[in-house]
Structure 1
Amino acid sequence: MIGKQIKGTGFRGCLNYVLGKKGAYIISGTMCSQTPEALATEFALTRLLKPRLKKAVFHATLSVDATEKLDSETENNERWSAVANDYMKAMGFDNNQYVVVKHTDTGHDHIHIVGSRIRFDGTVVDDSWDYYKSQTVIRSLETQYNLNQMLPSWECDRRSQTTGEHRNNLSTGQQSVRVQLQALIDQSTCDRPTLPELIKLLQQQQVQVKVRLTRTAQIKGISYQLNGVALSGTQLGKAYTFQGLQKYRGVSYDPERDHPQIQSLLQQPEINSQSFDQFLDKSNTETDSTDAVEIQSSVVQKQNALLPESDENQWLKVRSQLNQEYQLPLELLDLLHERNWLYANKKGQAVFTGRRFDGETVQVFVLDDWGEFEVTNPSTDSAFW
């Protein structure tokens, strides 16, 4: 069984959609009304108990494969009613208004549940980690009602916790930043947002987002930061990369439409490939091209001469990240650090040094926020080395 859920602000619009589908009809619930208008009025009664709650609407869909539909329509609806009621109780809607609507417009058998998060006593159903709670409830219902056990897509296209993260969760009861970010992104993509909308939703939940650009100012990658810990999309799983968000999470992206908004949200240099295209245009004069190459070469030389400055205050954070994210033994990390082969820079990134047998450093490898290495050649004149 597959389940999806979103939280919204307006009952009327949601009910119009759910009951407006051809062949849709109510099979269960805790309400008396039958039309979108009357149901919205009924929902308004509990909304008066918590008028400042913005997202009072809970909308869930549950679906099974067409092969699992019972031959008897009556028996099938009775099973769906029982499944829906058990699902809502397990999700904390034990004293709430909700209506269960059967849809018949697609090949797979599915229902929609529209409910109020406000209980009759004025309290509100807690929505913390409800996405994962829903998956746990669904797995239990599959067993209870003898339905096919399904592996949800977010388990297939996401990276699991590391051993260190799992142990920390068991000892402290706190979810790792990796799991928290995966959950926040999953919840924020339920409604198939545009990329700027997703970035804004994540920012509202204290998640910092960065995009990585190519030479032609095209988006190449994306990373996320929560509570001071930054992880690339790749480190979270293929569904959380720039391409994966579009392929697996339905995020809509159009460069012409989205780049100005992304630039504004992230306050990054303008994302515009036009200037780069003009700069590299073959129609430019030979002199212009030569000047451009000389300028680029000069920039590269200056970058190579700048060595990452060590920051011991960041070392413990980097040490922990390398151990938990990449399973590198602490003994090895401490040994490399003692010999100056590994240290933390001012940005809290891991810096590895490549040396010859005579001890001369010939290359520096900086592990960036996307989980990729940036390689530079240090200057032999630098005092640090």
Structure 2
Amino acid sequence: MTADQVKGKGFRGALRYNLKKVEQGKAKVLDMTFTSGKEDSIMREVALVRMLRPNLQKYFYHTSLNFPLNENLGDEQMNMIANEYLNNMGFDQHQYAIFRHYDADHPHLHILVNRIGYDGQVVSDSKDYQRSEQVLRKLEKQHSLTEVISSRQAQERAMTKNELEMMKRTNLPSSKMQLQEIIKDVLSRKPDTAQFIQALESKGINVLFNQASTGFVSGISYGYEGMQFKGAQLGNAYKWQAIKNAISYEQERDRTAIYQANVRTTDWQRSARTDKSVPRGTATGIHADTKVIAGNRKDIQQSAGKLQDQIRAKDSRYQPAAGADGQPGNQYGVPNQKYRIQRGTDIQSQQQGWQQVGHQALPGSDFIGSLLGTDHPAGDMDQSALNEFKRKRKKRKGQRLG
């Protein structure tokens, strides 16, 4: 038996969905605490209890209990299991509705619960997924149901929804599945540590061990097809605790081989980050011509500063100039006391048009245009800046008149 859980801010949507299934004959109500099965009546009762905790946002709890195909249980037993699930999860003084559905190939039911109790207490959602698994394993034993292996006990992690969708599109197994199969095949040969590492590297898998200075190893991860997987992400059978028992491993004997494997993996990752052939956004790195690791704001600012320096070098107007007081201007060609643009000729009057002034105010427009390409001509940038200047000037004038 498995459970899918959802917490949210709204009760009505899920309620309407289940009631519609009942109207269509695809579901039935097994049990509820509400006085009426009508949507508006149920929502009024929910609103009354919500008044006890008006500031709680996610008050709604929705879970579906799914049974294996071979367990076609009666309504009474399913209702009993659902109520015991609620009680074990802490919903013993709460509003709820239980629906059995017939719209899938396996038996399942939906439970809608108000997390706010009649006494105003709220059931915590901390570690609710772990608690739910414990309750399910308990109920399986109590009702002699098919016992499902918990996610913590699973030797292999199941495929995610995204992986299933990708397999449908490409008709190929996911990288995780391929990695699991390769490692299983290598382990089946009962290798020693050095052979284990060599065999994986020959298959394009880079191994990285969590090795202390004493040589003690506490974990392992695998790099494959530009992605890095921890052992736990693949399943318990791929964690170091299981791997070291499946191979011939001795800490002192193998510490050098493990260290050298770490060095090779680290060197490969470093070279991958500077290799232009590595696609942008992969786990190994980004384009070398970017020269900035994501999140390093200081490097980004420095790169922007270099671009500004190149612009100034191309434009003679940004050479240092003396101000009206005879003092030299700053590095941007702006005098200390008064802004001045050097064009080699006198500044034309304002009556000749703001567009020309706006164009001259943009340093190195030709140079910027060459950087941006034909899709973004510098003239368009000038006009945009001019339009913004006119808009602000008109707004200030209107404020003064008002």
Q: TM-score when scaled to structure 2?
A: 0.43
The structure with the larger Rg is 2
Greater fraction strand: 1
Greater RCO structure (CA 8 Å; 6+ sep): 1
